[in-house]
Amino acid sequence: MSYTLSYIVSTRNRIQFLQIILPLLFANIQPDEEIIVVDSNSTDGTQDYLNELHSKGKIHKFISEPDKNQAHGWNKAILMAEGEIIKKIIDDDLFCFSAIQKCKNYMLTNKSIDVCISNTLTTNLNKYQTIEYESRRQYYLQWKLGKVKSFTFGDVSMLIRRSSIAYIGLYNTSFIMMDYEFSLRISYLRANIAYHTGFNAMSLFNTDSVSSKVLPKELKIEGIRANTMYEYSGDQANISPYSKLKIFIGKMLYRLGIWQISSQVNQQDYQIDLREIYRFCYEYLNSVNECEDFTFL
């Protein structure tokens, strides 16, 4: 069968998150799409859970074996993909599948596009009702006009044309913050990047995420290394390369005439069920994408 899209997942000991994201993925997958899961030899019951889903045909391809690091696991998944387009699904983040479908169809229609990215929302598991708006649009436009040689963006919203991997390459396994180096490399190579002004995804930071465990010293070293490789000086003077331009989502929604939310959340609110947190965040993400007719740049 010929697939238009491959959803790829790389995971380790994250069963509580997989049990939320995978049922949603199963409910939204199209007949011409596939799901690939690479497990890094989990010990929390993840292997049995995924094996059962694979045996039921819910997951198209599945392997469980040790990885060298997270980039290694994601590269395995990419190489297993057969779809024309590849969409990375991070187990603890959230995704708007209707927005992903728009990006997929845009890429299928416009064959010259290598990569498609979008705006994203961000929040924190401990303060999940404080949701922020993140846009790389101004930096994308500067790059598009040739004013800068490269720019950064997170891969949580990214779709990749599989045939373009031969040019842009796989994730660099020597980087912990692999998406940072990957975004600089793609843009430095002048890959054809489309920008969706909607919101494909929401990043939900938690203390168990890879990014939360990176030491500032490691972050600085990797930043200097990648910046030198791809002639990147950062977004603005006196702002570190990892700093992101963030505007509270409430301000954006106020502009769009929807609603505002409180920027203060009691720490006790975190005691509610993890599924309730994700339910709230998914409703929020989907509502944002329904409020406007977003376009492609």
Whole-number average pLDDT of the chain: 88
- Please report, for residues 9, 64, 161, 176, the alpha-carbon distance to residue 59 in angstroms, rounded to integers and kept in the order given: 10, 13, 21, 28
Question: Model's pTM, two decimal places?
Answer: 0.88
- d(CA 59, CA 21) in angstroms, rounded, equals 13
- d(CA 89, CA 73) in angstroms, rounded, equals 13
Tens of pLDDT, residue by residue over 66-96, are 999 999 999 999 999 999 999 999 999 999 9
Specify the pLDDT at position 251. 35
Average pLDDT over residues 266-280: 70
Tens of pLDDT, residue by residue over 104-138, are 999 999 999 999 999 999 999 888 999 999 999 99
Compute how many other C-beta atoms are within 10 angstroms of the C-beta atom of residue 73. Answer: 24
Residue 197: which of 271, 134, 260, 283 has the closest Cα? 134
Q: How large a percentage of the chain has pLDDT more than 90?
A: 78
What letters, b where the CB count within 10 A reaches 16 and e where it falls short, cover 79-105?
Answer: ebbebbbbbbbbbbbbbbbebbebbbe
Q: At what angle do helices 15-28 and 274-290 cross, to 10 degrees?
A: 40
Pairing relationship of beta strands 85-88 and 5-11 according to DSSP bridges: parallel
Residue 12: which of 80, 59, 70 has the closest Cα? 70
Specify the pLDDT at position 69. 94
Dump the DSSP string for 114-150: -EEEEEEEEEETTEEEEEEEE--HHHHHHHHTTSSS-
Specify the pLDDT at position 267. 35
Average pLDDT over residues 253-274: 42
Tens of pLDDT, residue by residue over 196-239, are 999 999 999 887 776 666 778 888 899 999 999 999 988 753 33
- d(CA 28, CA 22) in angstroms, rounded, equals 10
Specify the pLDDT at position 215. 77
State the pLDDT confidence band at 7, using cuts at 50, 70 and 90. Answer: very high
Tell the CATH topology of 5-290. Spore Coat Polysaccharide Biosynthesis Protein SpsA; Chain A (3.90.550)
Specify the pLDDT at position 212. 62
Structure tokens at 150: 């490269």
Residue 70: which of 17, 157, 8, 11 has the closest Cα? 11
Specify the pLDDT at position 15. 96
Specify the pLDDT at position 126. 86
Structure tokens at 114: 């290598």
State the pLDDT confidence band at 273, using cuts at 50, 70 and 90. Answer: confident
Note whether 11 and 42 are within 8 A (CB).
yes
Is the pLDDT confidence value at 152 over 50?
yes
Specify the pLDDT at position 18. 97
- d(CA 54, CA 175) in angstroms, rounded, equals 31
Tens of pLDDT, residue by residue over 28-52, are 999 999 999 999 999 999 999 999 9
